[in-house]
């Protein structure tokens, strides 16, 4: 968004003055996450949002993604912006040091995700999906799968997706038909088609790691017969090195009204090599690790849009001139006054701002609960936080949007 300004002061107020994040971090053992460090991270994230992402937002939407023979090219500047993001260490902020991350709190990386989305929603979709992919492999993947995939995902060299929806079943995943056949080497051969896959194909990373729901041959009907798999675009050695091309292809990209610079793909699996995550027929349970992360992430997208809309409306209200103020001329040299002087315009602007600030507080509170479930040592507190999230997560997604 042109002229976007990251709401640093608002974020610091909510986290450190309203929700006391400083004590929250210390209680969870993040002593290094001091108020000074958080402020410094916010400042750098703001620079990246305002100076790198915002300037290519409009041009990216105008140019859109291009699909040619299964390959997707992102708009001018997107690939370079992603490399800047990787060079800055942003992908691995909240991931373990053993995989190359910085081991900072989940909430810290999520707060600035709002700014990336507010500055350039299309671009933010690409690294955003990777976070849920990493969380799923970290929570449910075997030690071997973590060794194969996490280091490159955490570094940002590779990106990730989630592949749920099929053409004949939208939210009713119990009807999905994508199948997975066991192979002698312990891997699986996946065949089927997934649709509406955000960041399913692009030119910004060396490999794309798909988290895919599919059925085993003997699986029961409905959602109780769904398993979860890791299926990379390029096959990967046990040491985590990229190998030959897997049987994964992008059949097309959607033509949309907005976020045209975000590739929403049809992905075809034609006997693609994949790896089971978690127990057989328990894939939907494992996928909720991804979905719980995605719910807050989707809520943040709504928050980001409301903040960006407020900023745009505020600038317009200061520039657009119509009629005179009820309390006397405010722009005596001009033919009329800026519309921000009119009470009803001010009411609308303050309503926008109230929604944005209230939603930011709700999001930050939900992130704080996630921190407790991830890093807390008191089981009772973790269970209470989890129960609160069970209530707030669906609400967060709907209200923030």
Q: Provide the token pair at 49.
A: 């949002």
Residue 399 has a pLDDT of: 43
CA–CA separation, 222 and 176 (whole Å):
8
| Across 23-27, 98-102, 168-172, 179-183, least confident range | 168-172
Q: Please, are residues 209 and 199 in contact by the beta-carbon 8 Å criterion?
A: no
β-bridge partners, 148:
none
**Residues in contact with 87: Cβ distance below 8 Å, sequence separation at least 6, in sequence order:** none
pLDDT above 80 for 108 = yes
267-297 pLDDT, tens per residue? 999 999 999 999 999 988 888 766 766 788 8
DSSP 74: P
Q: Provide the token pair at 233.
A: 């675009």
Q: Count CB-CB contacts under 10 A for residue 350.
A: 11
Q: Count CB-CB contacts under 10 A for residue 14.
A: 21
- Work out how many domains the chain is built from and give that number: 3
Percent of the chain with pLDDT over 90: 84
Q: Is position 367 within any domain?
A: yes
Mean of all residue pLDDT scores within the chain: 93
**Residues in contact with 400: Cβ distance below 8 Å, sequence separation at least 6, in sequence order:** 298, 299, 300, 301, 302, 303, 306, 359, 362, 363
Which residue carries 């041009």 as its tokens? 59
Q: Please, are residues 159 and 130 in contact by the beta-carbon 8 Å criterion?
A: yes
Which residue carries 């995943």 as its tokens? 173
pLDDT above 60 for 384 = yes
* The domain boundary residue, chosen from 281, 302, 336: 281
In a shared domain, residues 256 and 352: no
CATH code of residue 84: 1.10.540.10
pLDDT above 70 for 239 = yes
Percent of the chain with pLDDT over 70: 96
3-state helix, strand and coil shares in percent for the chain, rounded to the nearest 5: 50, 20, 30
Q: Counting Cβ atoms within 10 Å, is residue 214 exposed (0-12), middle (13-18) or buried (19+)? A: buried
In a shared domain, residues 39 and 120: yes
In a shared domain, residues 107 and 224: no
In a shared domain, residues 272 and 218: yes
CATH code of residue 352: 1.20.140.10
In a shared domain, residues 259 and 381: no
pLDDT above 70 for 218 = yes
330-372 pLDDT, tens per residue? 999 999 999 999 999 999 999 999 999 999 999 999 999 999 9
Q: Is position 151 within any domain?
A: no
Average pLDDT over residues 78-85: 98
Q: Is position 148 within any domain?
A: no
Q: Is position 108 within any domain?
A: yes
pLDDT band of residue 65 (cuts 50, 70, 90) is very high
Average pLDDT over residues 39-46: 97
Question: In which domain, by residue range, is 83 found?
Answer: 8-65+75-143
Q: Is position 1 within any domain?
A: no
In a shared domain, residues 274 and 293: no
pLDDT above 70 for 226 = yes
* The domain boundary residue, chosen from 257, 281, 305: 281
* The domain boundary residue, chosen from 143, 177, 199: 143
């Amino acid at each position: 968004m042109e002229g976007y300004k990251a709401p640093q002061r608002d974020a610091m107020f909510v986290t450190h003055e309203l929700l006391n994040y400083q004590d929250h971090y210390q209680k969870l053992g993040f002593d290094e996450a001091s108020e000074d460090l958080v402020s410094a991270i916010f400042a750098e994230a703001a620079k990246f949002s305002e100076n790198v992402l915002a300037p290519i937002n409009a041009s990216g939407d105008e140019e859109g993604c291009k699909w040619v023979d299964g390959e997707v090219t992102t708009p001018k500047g997107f690939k370079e912006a992603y490399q800047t993001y990787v060079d800055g260490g942003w992908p691995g902020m909240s991931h373990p040091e053993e995989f190359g991350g910085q081991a900072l709190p989940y909430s810290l990386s999520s707060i600035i995700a709002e700014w990336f989305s507010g500055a350039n929603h299309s671009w933010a979709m690409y690294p955003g999906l990777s976070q849920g992919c990493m969380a799923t492999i970290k929570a449910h993947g075997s030690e071997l799968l973590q060794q194969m995939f996490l280091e490159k995902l955490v570094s940002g060299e590779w990106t990730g997706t989630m592949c749920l929806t099929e053409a004949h079943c939208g939210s009713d995943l119990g009807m999905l038909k994508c199948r997975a056949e066991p192979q002698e080497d312990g891997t699986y051969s996946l065949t089927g088609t997934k649709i509406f896959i955000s960041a399913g194909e692009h030119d910004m990373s060396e490999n794309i790691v798909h988290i895919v729901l599919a059925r085993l041959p003997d699986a029961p009907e409905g959602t109780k017969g769904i398993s979860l798999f890791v299926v990379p675009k390029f096959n990967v050695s046990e040491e985590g090195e990229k190998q030959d091309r897997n049987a994964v292809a992008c059949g097309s990209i959607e033509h949309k009204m907005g976020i045209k610079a975000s590739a929403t793909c049809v992905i075809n699996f034609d006997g693609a090599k994949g790896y089971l995550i978690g127990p057989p027929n328990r894939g939907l349970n494992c996928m909720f690790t991804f979905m719980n992360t995605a719910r807050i992430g989707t809520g943040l997208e709504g928050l980001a849009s409301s903040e960006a809309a407020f900023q745009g409306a505020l600038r317009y209200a200061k520039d657009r001139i119509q009629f005179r103020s009820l309390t006397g001329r405010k722009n005596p040299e001009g033919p009329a006054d800026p519309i921000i002087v009119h009470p009803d315009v001010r009411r609308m602007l303050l309503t926008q701002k109230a929604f944005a600030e209230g939603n930011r507080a709700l999001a930050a509170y939900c992130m704080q609960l996630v921190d407790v479930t991830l890093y807390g040592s008191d089981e009772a507190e973790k269970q209470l936080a989890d129960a609160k999230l069970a209530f707030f997560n669906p609400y967060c997604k709907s209200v923030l949007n």
